[in-house]
């Protein structure tokens, strides 16, 4: 199985992990994006939302699991095809949460281009933006090196 190990600077990433963990905790009881549920069946909609939430929470556990004791001991994380889809989904969920909670005033175009008034942002916004960019970078690594749809 293909595996990519990424060496990270602990001092730079640790504060971002606090922001990411807080966003993940906020997501535990709620979906990052409310789905457009087809049909009118309330029971079906409830079951579907619960399953989506369980999946989102499982994905968040995979993402946060990358930053366990190995990360704090050695400063690296391991991405592999087996966790790539969960990492992609969890990064997306956290990025949506960061955008909604801390970065909405910047606008989507500025967030995606990275052209933001960093010096004018509050410390909380700066940390949220750093986490947002960090997660985008993880997603890019997964897409570039671990195509989750490829057959081994």
What is the DSSP secondary structure assignment for residue 41, as one 8-state letter? Answer: -
pLDDT in tens, 4-49: 999 999 999 999 999 999 999 999 999 999 887 766 678 888 888 8
The pLDDT, as a whole number, for residue 120 is 92
Q: pLDDT class for 150, splitting at 50, 70, 90?
A: low
pLDDT in tens, 37-93: 766 678 888 888 899 999 999 999 999 999 998 899 999 999 999 999 999 999 999
pTM of full prediction above 0.85: yes
Q: Is 149 helix (H, G, I), strand (E, B) or coil?
A: coil
Q: Which has more confidence, 107 or 95? A: 95
Q: What size, in residues, is the chain? A: 152
The separation between CA 132 and the C-alpha centre of its own chain, rounded to angstroms, equals 8
Q: Which has more confidence, 109 or 135? A: 135
What is the rounded (10 degree) CA torsion for 18, 7, 83, 108?
60
The pLDDT, as a whole number, for residue 114 is 82
Interacting residues of 14 by C-beta distance below 8 A, sequence separation 6+: none
R_g over Cα of the chain: 16
Averaged pLDDT, 97-114:
91
């Amino acid at each position: 199985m293909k595996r990519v190990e990424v060496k990270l600077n602990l001092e730079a990433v640790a504060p971002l992990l606090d922001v990411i963990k807080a966003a993940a905790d906020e997501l535990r009881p709620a979906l990052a994006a409310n789905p457009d549920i087809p049909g009118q069946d309330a029971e079906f909609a409830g079951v579907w939302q619960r399953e989506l939430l369980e999946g989102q929470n499982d994905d968040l556990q995979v993402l946060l699991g990358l930053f366990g004791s190995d990360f704090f001991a050695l400063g690296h994380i391991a991405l592999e095809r087996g966790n790539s889809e969960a990492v992609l989904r969890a990064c997306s969920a956290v990025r949506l949460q960061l955008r909604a909670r801390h970065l909405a005033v910047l606008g989507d175009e500025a967030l995606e281009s990275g052209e933001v008034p960093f010096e004018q942002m509050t410390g909380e916004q700066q940390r949220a933006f750093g986490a947002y960019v960090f997660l985008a970078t993880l997603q890019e690594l997964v897409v570039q090196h671990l195509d989750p749809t490829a057959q081994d």
